[in-house]
Amino acid sequence: MANRRPMRTARCCFSDAGRRTRSVATTKGDVMVAPINIPEDWDDNGLIMFEEFCDLIRTPQRTVRDWRRRGVGPRWTRFQGVGRLYITVAEARNFLASATVTRAEVRSDG
């Protein structure tokens, strides 16, 4: 038998307690990542802080700040123009839906 590399597995999702775990399965260099979903029970009018959003989408804050500077990504707001940046749950859902590639959109090379 050929020498096989072991598969590493970790999970990423938000539990009821709000704790986050990661979900990545690696085998022979291929990486499969679970899609990022916002829980259905979150109210669309709810607010997510900038830092929470970065954690939710597993993206460094520096990258999301760069998106904001370039005018791409979700629309952010501040209360009375000062303080922390916020996004609504609905805006986060819209952003994730527009950034998600479906199987039909993925081309195969063979």
pLDDT tens digits, 7-57: 443 334 443 344 444 444 445 566 666 778 888 899 999 999 999 999 999
CB 87: neighbour CB atoms within 10 A? 21
Residue 106 has pLDDT above 90, yes or no: no
Nearest to 37 by CA among 87, 91, 96, 86: 96
Mean pLDDT over residues 81-102, rounded?
A: 88
Share of the chain above pLDDT 90, in %: 43
Mean pLDDT, residues 73-78: 91
Give yes or no for a contact between 56 and 13, defined as CB atoms under 8 angstroms apart.
no
Q: CA-to-CA distance for 37 and 18, rounded, in angstroms?
A: 14
The domain locations on the chain are 8-35, 38-102
The model's pTM: 0.61
Residue 105 class from Cβ within 10 Å (0-12 exposed, 13-18 middle, 19+ buried)? exposed
pLDDT at 36: 82
